[in-house]
């Protein structure tokens, strides 16, 4: 009987030990030969219980090896390739040198003597300064020539444009149409002029770190723009010239 939390729970209670039953012992032997059974074994030898013990035990001398069940392949036929001599054969003792050229020079000794007596090359370990070059800080001659050529061409173009503007403003002569030969000649001249100026313009440096470079770039661009405008006017075909009386 459970009393919950009670002082009677401290009293040890008797433990019921069940009675141990007797073990079962079979009346038959544990290992019996199948021939002793009377279940038709005499009529059908192994019809029910199979072969005697150890009959199907594997024979350690009979075992399968790898690829033993696969058919054997025939031996490959020998490959006969022509023998190729990659290097020239060693000359025989009886062969003579070509043209009878025989040298008694000992090349090993000659090379050793040549290297011993040779003068070592002079190595310049001093640092190189570009500021000490003779032409450091000087304008190259080709730049001066190109600059003079561009200035002369610019002056010729300005003179041509000034004379043209003066004729347009003060000219009071007759007007005539420019001939085709004159137009083609002037057009070819302007195109060649544009190619020359553009060639010089393309050779300029990408860095414009000085005012002179910026001014030079602006002059090239103005000249090319003006020549392009003149070429567009000449390509129209109808060009009229005012002549003085």
State whether residue 241 is helix, strand or coil.
strand
Residue 177, strand partner residues: 240
Give Cβ neighbours of residue 187 (< 8 Å, ≥ 6 apart).
231, 234, 235
Distance CA 52, CA 50 (A): 7
The answer to the question of residue 219 being in a domain is yes
Give a yes or no: residue 185 inside a domain.
Answer: yes
Q: What is the pLDDT of residue 40?
A: 45
Domain assignment of residue 202, given as a range: 145-243
Q: Residue-wise over 38-75: b if at least 16 C-beta within 10 A, else e? A: eeebeeeeeeeeeeeeeeeeeeeeeeeeeeeeeeeeee
pLDDT tens digits for 112-134?
999 999 888 877 777 778 888 88
Q: Is residue 127 part of a domain?
A: no
Q: Is residue 161 part of a domain?
A: yes
Count of the separate structural domains present in the chain: 1
Query: pTM, whole model, 2 decimals?
Result: 0.29
Which residue, among 191, 151, 167, 134, has the nearest Cα to 243 in the 3D structure? Answer: 167
In a domain, 209, yes or no: yes
In a domain, 88, yes or no: no
Short-list 204, 197, 192, CA closest to 220: 197
Q: With the C-alpha atoms ordered 120, 125, 129, 132, is the resulting torsion angle positive or negative? A: negative
- Is residue 149 in a domain? yes
Residues of the chain with pLDDT under 70: 1-3, 29-30, 32-50, 100, 165-175, 237, 242-245
Residue at 19 is within a domain: no
């Amino acid at each position: 009987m459970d009393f919950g939390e009670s002082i009677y729970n401290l009293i040890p209670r008797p433990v019921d030990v069940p009675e141990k039953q007797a073990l079962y012992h079979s009346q038959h032997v544990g290992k019996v030969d199948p021939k002793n059974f009377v279940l038709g074994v005499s009529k059908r030898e192994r019809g029910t219980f199979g072969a005697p013990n150890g009959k199907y035990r594997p024979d350690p001398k009979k075992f399968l090896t790898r690829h033993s069940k696969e058919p054997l392949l025939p031996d490959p036929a020998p490959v006969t390739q022509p023998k190729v001599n990659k290097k020239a054969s060693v000359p025989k003792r009886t062969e003579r040198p070509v043209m009878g050229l025989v040298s008694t020079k000992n090349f090993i000794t000659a090379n050793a003597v040549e290297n011993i007596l040779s003068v070592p090359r002079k190595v310049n370990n001093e640092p190189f300064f570009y500021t000490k070059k003779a032409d450091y800080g000087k304008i190259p001659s080709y730049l001066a020539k190109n600059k003079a050529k561009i200035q002369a061409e610019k002056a010729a173009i300005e003179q041509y444009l000034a004379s043209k503007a003066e004729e347009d403003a003060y000219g009071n002569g007759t007007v005539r149409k420019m001939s085709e030969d004159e137009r083609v000649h002037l057009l070819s001249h302007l195109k060649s002029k544009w190619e020359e100026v553009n060639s010089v313009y393309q050779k300029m440096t990408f860095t414009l770190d000085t005012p002179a470079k910026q001014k030079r770039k602006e002059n090239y661009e103005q000249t090319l723009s003006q020549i392009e405008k003149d070429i567009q006017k000449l390509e129209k075909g109808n060009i009229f010239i005012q002549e003085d009386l």
